[in-house]
Structures are given as structure tokens and as C-alpha cells.
Structure 1
Amino acid sequence: MKNKPMILVAGRDKQHLQAMGRLFCDPSELQVRIHHMENGHTDPLYGITVQPDILVLVLSAAWEEELRALRTRAASQGLPMIAIGPAGNTQVMRRAMQAGARDFFTHPAPPEELLASTLQIVKDLHSPAVTGQGVLTAVINGTNGSGATFLACNIAHMMTVHSGIKVALMDMDLQFGNLPLYLDMNIRNSLSEVFAAVDQLDGVALEGYMGKHPSGLHLLASASEQVLLPWEISEKDLNRLLDISLQTYEHVVVDLPRQIDSLTSTVLERAHHVIIVMQESLTSIRDAKRLLQIVQRDLAVLDENIYVVVNRHQDKNAISLADLRDALKISSFLLIPNDFKRVMQSINTGVPLFESEKNAAITKAVLEVAVKLSGKPQTQSQNILRRALSYFLPH
């Protein structure tokens, strides 16, 4: 690769192209070439003899022909692309992602976000590619309101900034997911768009659907104007999304709603780590015990891959850790100390703990969990056999 990545800005609108040229000329680490598409040509790479490192394509009214030309041109395979198209047309974005766009903006593209997206791609080009199979961690509440979403968000963030690995955070609460609020992010794409194009999905397209946090963490949110129900997502499509995610990222953290259905059971069965979040209360013990039984017996998740996290732990509590061990029949817990003030401040500001309260006891406790989960666990190849046997063994 050249010392300075070459950005090719292609399109039909001269005014847009000139504005893009001025934007990309500012960073000294980039070199920019403007390609004005004219004379009826719809191929953004027509006449280009030197392959650029990144293509920024300003789509015109002939966007279908322009994207089709890219998909059929062999030279464009693997070329990172950012597409800019008209607002209010979901088909444009979907086709752009299918053509390999890593990000999509509508006119007028916010200059700061466009430049940040481009620089992130430059950074990715210099980073070693992820190979092999990533690790899947599922986080679920034992009782509603126990803090699973907050922990999933902060664990994923700490894996990114502390452990330095490529992490995707997914919100599988289809109706009420709110992970973007925990990271102060405005999300343009969601699970609805991903599943609508899942047959054409690959790693490059998946990254394009992701929201990018400044830390480097990628977020796939559930928030959408459309209502998406769990039974509308087939097991085949969900498994395809998980397969591509684990091929693209070193670690995938999934925030699950507290329910057992086809969606959550598929994720739990495939997870290398299952994190059950509970509190020190009688109702939480009852619910966590029931969920543990389902995960262990019915979904056949290996015991060594299940972690029970006691959130908002207080040393002086009517229910002791010994009581929890006796009730749940497990030997150890991961403890997160109670710190209501710092947690609420983090949620309300959208700033993760590791950025705002790096030295706090609660941050150090969550970091221990993140570091523990960062390594790849033992294989779960026994799961299929164990699950089959569970139907014949007495419950």
C-alpha cells in the first residue's frame, strides 16, 4: 500500500465533488483524486488506471446503474467504499451495501462524520485482518432491570479500548433496545435493514451497517421505525448474521432481552460465554435459578461457559453470597459493586465508565470481567450431543 492512501471521489455533481475535494485535502495523511463522471458513463471507475485505496461515491439519479457497474467490475472487488445518496430511499442504501459500501450518508453528508468514517477505513487498512472464528458473548438479565444492557455496553467498550481487539456490540432487544443511548450515538441503520439484505450480506457490508463509536467499538442497534418481531427472523437468517459477525470481528457481544424464544435461544446455544446478570434479592434469585435451569438443561450450554454476575453488590446485605451459592448451586460469582451515582451519570451522559471513571471500583470490577472474557474459551462441540441427550435424560 502507498505511503498516503489515495481517496477517489467520484460523481456527476461538480459542486458536490469540489466540496468533497476540499474536505479530504485537509488531512495531510490523505491524497485525493476527483473523478467527474460525464459523457453518459455510469461506471465510477471508468478511465481510472491506478486503483484507489478508498472510493467515495456521490450517487446520482442513475444510482442503480452506477452501483450495478461496480458490482460487475472485477477491479472493484474488495475496494472500500463510502456511498452518498438521496435521503428517504432505503433501496439506495440497501443496494449500496450490497455493492460493498462500508458506510452510507444522505445528502448533504455531515463533513465531520464523513471524514471520521474515511479515516477509520484508513486505520482498518493498516490493521491486521481478523482471521478465524471470533468469540460470542451473550448477556441477559436474570430479572428485568438487573443491568445487563449497561454491563454489555461497558464490557464491549473495555474489550475495545483496553484489550485492543475488534469488537461488535449487538442489541437484540427488538422492541425496546436502547444501547445507542448508553454510547451517545445517533444510529442510521438497524437490524431491520441488515435482515432485509441478509442474503447478500458479507463482512464488508456488515461493517457498513454498523454504527462507529469514537473508541473503535462497532454497534448494531435494534432501534428502527419499523416494528420487528422475534418470529419474523428465521433461524437461518440469524445464524447467517452470527456467522458473518464472527468471521469479521474478534469478539461479538450480544445484549439479549429477558425472554426465551427462537431468537434468544439460538444466540444462547451458540454463545461461548453466557452472562446472567442478577441482584441480591429473593425475586432475582428465583428468576436467575429458573434461567440457569433453562440454559443448562434445555439449551445445553456448558457449565464452564456460564458466568453469573451479581450486580449492585453490597457487603452488608441480608442475602449473603453463601445464600446465593446454596440457592443457585454454583461455586463462584463475578461481583460488581453498587455505585448508583456513577452508573446513572454514565447512562445519562452516554459516556462509558472507562472514559469517565477509569479508577473507580466499579470500573475496575467490570474491567476484570471484560479481561476474563477476552480470551477464547474451550470449544462447545459437545453441545449438540448434550442437547440431544437432554431430551432422554430425566429432568
Structure 2
Amino acid sequence: MSAMNQQDTAKAWRFQGREAEIHLYLSAAEGDIGALMGARVLGLPLTLSIVPVSDWIDATDMARAAVAVVQVDADSPASIKRFERLAAANPDTPLIAAAFNPPLALVRSLLRSGAHDVLPLPLSLDDLVTSIAPLAEQVQQKEVHALAGKSRLITFSKARGGSGATALATQLACRFAAREAAAGREACLIDLDVQFGDAAFQLGLTPKFSLTDAVAAGSRLDGELLRSITTVHPSGLHVLAAPDEMLPLEGLNNDQVLAVVERAQRAFGTVFVDLPANWTHWSLSLAARSDLILLVADLSVAGLRQARRQLDLLQEQELGEVPLEIILNRHEKSLFGSVKSGDATTALGRDARFTVANDPATVNAAIERGVTVDEVKRKSAFGSDLDRLDKALVDILGLER
């Protein structure tokens, strides 16, 4: 486990979000609108709805946008009234009015009604960029709150290498995804162990793409592209595999990693992330924005010692308030085990609420065959513990099934 510089605080690597889209409500696709649809402003895609200037626009639908551009007709009182009502109904969504040759009196009236700006039609990309740029911080904060309400991020942290965290993460994520599918939701697993990650291998997958492709896409990465890069397991779990070639941990930076994870959060209901054993600024960033950290430790003296060091580090980095659960892996119920659960509580300084049975025959067979443990043995101690973990996740995350 690598230590962070004591001068580095949580503020240095906390998440900075982005908004999902900028929506245009126009009466017709005129001017450079075709070119605009392939462009991004503030890194956000532009979307278009064709709506007559006096027809009502669903205020609830508009509230989901980062910024809305609404056409106004100077000669239509109904059109002007529509804009005024939309501005009153959506105080948290910046509205930009767009009109053909807007007279000064109309511009002043729209600004008084709550318009952030008034742009001439037909729209141009330069005008949009100039108008929206001052809203960057506001729309970023809106996206942070939107993601917090719609998506769940669960990070798997290893107390030390060899603790079985990846096997646990892959098997649990598959079980979780299959049951979420019945509720109409999806889940994704991102393997961020860029040096030793083998989540896809353990699930018997042969991905054509990996994390490298997602990072290389940069600002082009959207939900559709991300889905095409992931590999879908029969359980319904979308897996973004680790790179084929080993990468230095510092080969990735905060912006790259957070952009990929954030995009996954928009595309899927729950995102699991398998972190490397060593901490980096970007892995701490993910821990900071997690809805739940699962710290996996094997029930041994050395494993518990490293788990305690992990807990101490998170506390030092101002992450003590992030929800965290400890999973004691390879747990032996035998009276002859060298380390008992009570010993773990003493060593860790806190309770470990979850244990997973030591079932090497079933787990190793599943990994070697690239299948879930239920395909190896329909009823197993390991599978029963996965069921308990799955139920706990549903309760902790406030999901309904």
C-alpha cells in the first residue's frame, strides 16, 4: 500500500462533475442546426426538440437539462408567455431565449423574466459557446446532485493483494446485475486495477475493448459509445475490462478516470469499481464520491493489519465519513481457525458486519471455467454469503426490488 503525501487533502482530488446535455427547443431545424447536433458545448452534447413556438413544453422534462434554449416569437404573445412560465417553473435550469431579429424591448422583457441570455436565430455554435460558458460552474453542480439521486457507485478496495477482492467483486456484481434486471435497472463493473486486473478473465469474457479505449475517446465518450466498449455478461452485467497491457498507476489522471466513471453512472443504475491495491489520487477521488466502499480483507493477522492501515489512511485523507463496510473473506467457522471474528473487531477497531465463507473448491472452479459460482455448485456457502451481501446492498443503497 502506498502512502499519500500528508500535505495532500481531500479537496485536491474530489470529484468535479459535468451535465448530461444542452437541449434546444426550436420550431424548425434551420441554419447550422445540423452541424450543431454533432458538437459539444462545455463538453456536453446538444439535443434538439422541434416544437411550435406557442406549444407548451413539459417543464419536468426541461428540468433534466443542463441548459435549455427556447425559441420565442416576438409577434406571438403566447410564445412570450410560454417562456415566462417556463422560467418560473424551472428556476434551477438556466434558460436562454432564441429569436429572429429580437427587438430591444423583447430582449429586456425576456431578461426580466429570467432569461440568462437572448440569442439571435438561426443559432451559431460561437454564440452558444459564448452564452453558455459563464454557466459552467452552475451546470456542473447540477450534475453532481443529479448523479447523486439517480446512480450508485460502489468501490471495492483491497486490504492487500491476494485477498480475493476481485473474485468477490465479479461474483457479487453478476448476482446483483441479474436481480437488478428484474427491476428494470442495469449494473456495470469497471476494472480499474490497471496492472493486475482480470475481472473479465474471471467471468470468461473476451472483450474487444477495454478501459484504454474509453479513456482514449475523451470528450467523445457518451452513453452509446461506452456501451459499445463494455462486454456484457450473461447475467446482464456490463464489464469495462482492465487494459490488456500493464499501465503505471500514474499513467491515468483524475480527469480521465472520473470522466469514464461519471459517464458510466449516467448510463447504468449501479456502477461497481474494482480498485488497485495501491492508492493513487484518482482512486481516492473515486472513494470520495462513492456511495459505499467495500473493503475486502482476508481473515489473517497480516490481512487485518493491512486493513487497519487502509482504514487509517482513509481517515487521514478526510474520507472517514464515506460509508464503508468491511468484508472478511475466506472466513472459517471451524473452532480451529487461527483468527476469529472477535479478533478482527479488536484489530480493526470497528465491527466487520460481513463474512464470506472460505470455499476454494467452488470459487477456484468458477474462475477456471469463467462462470458464476452457481454454475459450479447450485447451493454453496460462498453463494449463500453472496445472497446476504446482495440483500445488504439493496438495503444500504435504498433500492426497491
Q: TM-score range by the shorter chain?
A: 0.5 to 0.7
Residues 132 and 247 in structure 1, CA contact (< 8 A), matched pair in contact too: no
Q: Compare CA radii of gyration and give the structure with the larger one.
A: 2
Seen in structure 2, the aligned counterparts of structure 1 residues 324 and 352 have a Cα distance that, compared at 3 Å, is same
Partner of 1:297: 316
Partner of 1:344: 364
Partner of 2:63: none
Q: Does 1:313 align with 2:331?
A: yes
TM-score by length of 1: 0.60
Q: Does 1:360 align with 2:390?
A: no
Q: Does 1:207 align with 2:227?
A: yes
Partner of 2:193: 173
1:155: how far off?
Answer: 1.1
Seen in structure 2, the aligned counterparts of structure 1 residues 299 and 196 have a Cα distance that, compared at 3 Å, is farther
Residues 366 and 372 in structure 2, CA contact (< 8 A), matched pair in contact too: yes
1:376: how far off?
Answer: 5.8
Which residue identity does 1:137 align to in structure 2?
I
| Matched residue SS, 1:163 | helix
Partner of 2:296: 277
| Matched residue SS, 2:157 | strand
1:299: how far off?
Answer: 4.3
1:162: how far off?
Answer: 2.4
| Matched residue SS, 1:197 | helix
Residues 328 and 352 in structure 2, CA contact (< 8 A), matched pair in contact too: no
Give, in whole Å, the separation in 2 of the partners of 1:194 and 1:166. Answer: 19
Which residue identity does 1:342 align to in structure 2?
T
1:341: how far off?
Answer: 0.4
Give, in whole Å, the separation in 2 of the partners of 1:367 and 1:296. Answer: 30
Partner of 1:25: none
Q: For 1:324-382, what per-residue CA distance to the aligned partner results, in whole angstroms no more than 9, with x for missing partners?
A: 1111111232011111100110000000123433321210101211221135648xxxx
Residues 174 and 235 in structure 2, CA contact (< 8 A), matched pair in contact too: yes
Which residue identity does 1:158 align to in structure 2?
R
Give, in whole Å, the separation in 1 of the partners of 2:162 and 2:352. Answer: 22
1:209: how far off?
Answer: 0.8
| Matched residue SS, 2:234 | coil
| Matched residue SS, 2:326 | strand
| Matched residue SS, 1:138 | strand
Seen in structure 2, the aligned counterparts of structure 1 residues 299 and 260 have a Cα distance that, compared at 3 Å, is farther
TM-score by length of 2: 0.59
Q: How does 1:57-206 map to 2 (within 5 A)?
A: 71=38, 133-164=150-181, 165-206=185-226
Seen in structure 2, the aligned counterparts of structure 1 residues 341 and 274 have a Cα distance that, compared at 3 Å, is same
Residues 163 and 374 in structure 1, CA contact (< 8 A), matched pair in contact too: no
Give, in whole Å, the separation in 1 of the partners of 2:275 and 2:383. Answer: 22
1:135: how far off?
Answer: 0.6
Residue of structure 1 aligned with 2:240, choices 212, 220, 225: 220
Seen in structure 2, the aligned counterparts of structure 1 residues 234 and 223 have a Cα distance that, compared at 3 Å, is closer
Residues 210 and 219 in structure 1, CA contact (< 8 A), matched pair in contact too: yes
Residues 140 and 277 in structure 1, CA contact (< 8 A), matched pair in contact too: yes
Q: For 1:36-78, what per-residue CA distance to the aligned partner results, in whole angstroms no more than 9, with x for missing partners?
A: xxxxxxxxxxxxxxxxxxxxxxxxxxxxxxxx9x959xxxx89
1:278: how far off?
Answer: 1.0
Runs of 4+ with >4 A deviation: none
RMSD: 2.5
Residues 187 and 211 in structure 1, CA contact (< 8 A), matched pair in contact too: yes
Q: For 1:195-233, what per-residue CA distance to the aligned partner results, in whole angstroms no more than 9, with x for missing partners?
A: 1112111111111111111221100011324x4333232
Identity of aligned residues (%): 25
Give, in whole Å, the separation in 2 of the partners of 1:188 and 1:373. Answer: 30
Seen in structure 2, the aligned counterparts of structure 1 residues 343 and 369 have a Cα distance that, compared at 3 Å, is same
Seen in structure 2, the aligned counterparts of structure 1 residues 141 and 131 have a Cα distance that, compared at 3 Å, is closer
Seen in structure 2, the aligned counterparts of structure 1 residues 301 and 197 have a Cα distance that, compared at 3 Å, is farther
Residues 295 and 301 in structure 1, CA contact (< 8 A), matched pair in contact too: yes
| Matched residue SS, 1:266 | helix
Which residue identity does 1:256 align to in structure 2?
L
Q: For 1:235-271, what per-residue CA distance to the aligned partner results, in whole angstroms no more than 9, with x for missing partners?
A: 1222222221111111101111111112221111111
Q: For 1:109-167, what per-residue CA distance to the aligned partner results, in whole angstroms no more than 9, with x for missing partners?
A: xxxxxxxxxxxxxxxxxxxxx99521111112112111000011011101111233301
Seen in structure 2, the aligned counterparts of structure 1 residues 355 and 302 have a Cα distance that, compared at 3 Å, is farther
Give, in whole Å, the separation in 1 of the partners of 2:308 and 2:191. Answer: 24
Partner of 2:75: none
Give, in whole Å, the separation in 1 of the partners of 2:391 and 2:380. Answer: 17
Residues 136 and 273 in structure 1, CA contact (< 8 A), matched pair in contact too: yes
Residue of structure 1 aligned with 2:279, choices 232, 235, 260: 260
Give, in whole Å, the separation in 2 of the partners of 1:131 and 1:312. Answer: 33
